C-alpha cells in the first residue's frame, strides 16, 4: 500500500505556532498566514484511528480547495493558495468555537436523536412522522461546540450567546453564510448526481473582525452525501440509501463494538478495509468535482510538502 502521512514535520521560516488536530496539522506564520496540512489520519467518534488512509489527505485538501474556490462568491473564505496536494495556505483567523452543522435530511446523529423520541435538536424543531433519511421541510442549523480535544457537544443558539462564544451579529452572519453555502453545495452535488445530506462549516475572525469561512468545505470528512438516482425509490421501500461519506466507517466501528466510549478498544483495520476507505474518498472526489483523481507521489510526503512550500514562500 502507499505510504501515509500521519504527522507533518515542516521546517519553514517564520513559523510562530504549530497545532496538531485530529486530522490536520496547522502552522501559523508570523506574517499572518496559516498553512493547513491535511494528513492521512482518520477520526471517528472524536477518536483518531491508529492507521492512516492512503491519499485521504490529498483528497480532503484538493476537494476542499476546489469547493472554497467554487463558493467564494457565497461566503468569503480564508484560502489563498494550494502549493501542494496536501496543503492549503490562507489568512490566519481566530476560530469561532462553534461548528455550524446544517442538516437537510434526518440522518446520522439527528436520526439517532429522533429514534430516542426527541423532537428538538440544538434548539431546532424536527417534525413528527419522519422516517430515517427523509428530507426536512427546510434545512436545519444544529450547532455544536468546537472542542480542542475530546468530544464536540450539541448546543443551542441561545446557549451559544449566553456563553459568549460569539456575538449576536456574528451568529446572524454565520447562520446566513451556512444556509447559503448549504444551498450552493446542494446545487453542485445535484449536478453530479448526489444529494448533500448534511455538513458542517467552521468560521474564524480576522484581526480586523471579519468573519471568514475556514477549514474544509463539502468534503467526506465534513459532509454526508447520498446518491441522487434511486433515492426516492429506496426511501419509498424503506431501503438503505447509497451514500458517499465517512458514515460507513462509523457503522463499521459500531458493528465492531466501538463508539469511542471509555474502555472500548479500536478494532483492527486490515489492509482490505483501509483500501476500501481510500476508494470511497477517491470516488467522492471524482463524483463531486468531475475530475479524475491523480495520486501524488507518496515516497516522502513531508519532504514533498517542504519543497513545495519553500518554493512558494519565496
Terminal C-alpha separation, the chain? 34
Residue 1 lies in a domain: no
- Is the pLDDT at 54 greater than 90, yes or no? yes
Say whether both 79 and 100 belong to one domain.
no
Residue 23 lies in a domain: yes
Q: What are phi and psi of 35, to 5 degrees?
A: -105, 120
- Is the pLDDT at 127 greater than 90, yes or no? yes
Lowest mean pLDDT among 82-86, 144-148, 213-217, 232-236: 144-148
Structural domains in the chain (count) = 2
Confidence class of residue 150 from pLDDT cuts 50, 70 and 90?
low
pLDDT tens column, 201-236: 999 999 899 999 998 899 888 999 999 999 999 999
Confidence class of residue 99 from pLDDT cuts 50, 70 and 90?
very high
Say whether both 115 and 235 belong to one domain.
yes
Say whether both 89 and 99 belong to one domain.
no
Mean pLDDT in residue range 76-97: 97
Say whether both 100 and 46 belong to one domain.
no
Say whether both 67 and 137 belong to one domain.
no
Mean pLDDT in residue range 282-298: 93
Distance CA 296, CA 7 (A): 17
Task: Please tell me which residue, 160 or 249, carries the higher pLDDT value.
Answer: 160
Give the whole-number percent of the chain exceeding pLDDT 70: 98
Lowest mean pLDDT among 57-71, 122-136, 163-177, 253-267: 253-267
Say whether both 170 and 288 belong to one domain.
no
In 3D, which of 33, 29, 24, 38 has the Cα closest to residue 11? 29
Mean pLDDT in residue range 195-203: 97
* pTM value > 0.75: yes
At 30, list the grid cell: 508570523
Say whether both 212 and 168 belong to one domain.
yes
Say whether both 240 and 98 belong to one domain.
yes
Confidence class of residue 284 from pLDDT cuts 50, 70 and 90?
confident
In 3D, which of 155, 121, 151, 158 has the Cα closest to residue 136? 121
Say whether both 100 and 212 belong to one domain.
yes
Residue 5 lies in a domain: no
Residue 6 lies in a domain: no
Residue 138 lies in a domain: yes
Mean pLDDT in residue range 238-244: 90
Residue 169 lies in a domain: yes
CATH code of 84's domain: 3.30.200.20
Distance CA 195, CA 188 (A): 9
Say whether both 143 and 231 belong to one domain.
yes
- Is the pLDDT at 149 greater than 90, yes or no? no
At 55, list the grid cell: 491519499
Say whether both 82 and 116 belong to one domain.
no
Residue 148: what pLDDT? 58
Say whether both 198 and 113 belong to one domain.
yes
Residue 254 lies in a domain: no
Q: Which domain holds residue 239?
A: 94-245
Distance CA 231, CA 260 (A): 31
CATH code of 156's domain: 3.30.470.20
Residue 162 lies in a domain: yes
Amino acid at each position: 500500500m502507499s505510504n501515509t502521512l500521519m504527522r507533518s514535520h515542516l521546517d519553514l521560516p517564520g513559523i510562530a505556532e504549530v497545532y496538531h488536530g485530529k486530522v490536520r496539522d496547522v502552522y501559523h506564520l508570523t506574517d499572518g498566514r496559516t498553512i493547513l496540512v491535511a494528513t492521512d489520519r482518520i477520526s471517528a467518534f472524536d477518536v483518531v484511528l491508529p492507521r492512516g488512509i492512503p491519499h485521504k489527505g490529498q483528497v480532503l485538501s484538493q476537494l476542499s480547495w476546489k469547493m472554497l474556490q467554487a463558493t467564494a462568491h457565497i461566503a468569503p473564505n480564508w484560502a489563498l493558495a494550494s502549493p501542494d496536494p496536501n496543503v492549503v495556505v490562507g489568512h490566519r483567523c481566530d476560530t469561532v468555537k462553534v461548528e455550524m452543522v446544517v442538516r437537510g435530511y434526518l440522518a446520522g446523529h439527528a436520526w439517532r436523536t429522533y429514534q430516542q423520541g426527541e423532537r428538538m435538536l440544538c434548539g431546532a424543531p424536527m417534525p413528527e412522522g419522519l422516517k430515517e433519511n427523509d428530507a426536512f421541510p427546510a434545512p436545519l442549523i444544529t450547532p455544536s461546540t468546537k472542542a480542542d480535544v475530546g468530544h464536540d457537544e450539541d448546543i443551542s443558539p441561545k446557549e451559544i450567546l449566553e456563553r459568549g462564544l460569539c456575538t449576536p451579529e456574528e451568529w446572524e452572519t454565520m447562520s446566513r453564510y451556512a444556509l447559503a453555502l448549504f444551498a450552493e453545495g446542494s446545487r453542485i452535488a445535484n449536478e453530479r448526481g448526489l444529494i448533500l445530506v448534511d455538513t458542517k462549516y467552521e468560521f474564524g475572525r480576522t484581526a480586523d473582525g471579519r468573519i471568514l469561512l475556514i477549514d474544509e468545505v463539502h468534503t467526506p470528512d465534513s459532509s454526508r452525501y447520498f446518491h441522487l438516482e434511486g433515492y426516492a425509490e429506496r426511501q419509498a421501500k424503506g431501503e438503505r440509501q447509497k451514500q458517499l461519506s465517512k458514515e460507513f466507517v462509523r457503522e463499521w466501528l459500531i458493528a465492531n463494538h466501538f463508539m469511542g466510549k471509555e474502555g472500548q478498544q479500536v478494532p483492527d483495520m486490515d489492509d482490505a478495509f483501509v483500501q476500501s476507505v481510500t476508494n470511497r474518498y477517491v470516488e467522492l472526489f471524482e463524483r463531486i468535482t468531475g475530475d479524475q483523481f491523480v495520486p501524488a507521489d507518496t515516497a516522502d510526503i513531508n519532504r514533498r510538502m517542504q519543497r513545495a512550500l519553500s518554493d512558494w514562500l519565496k
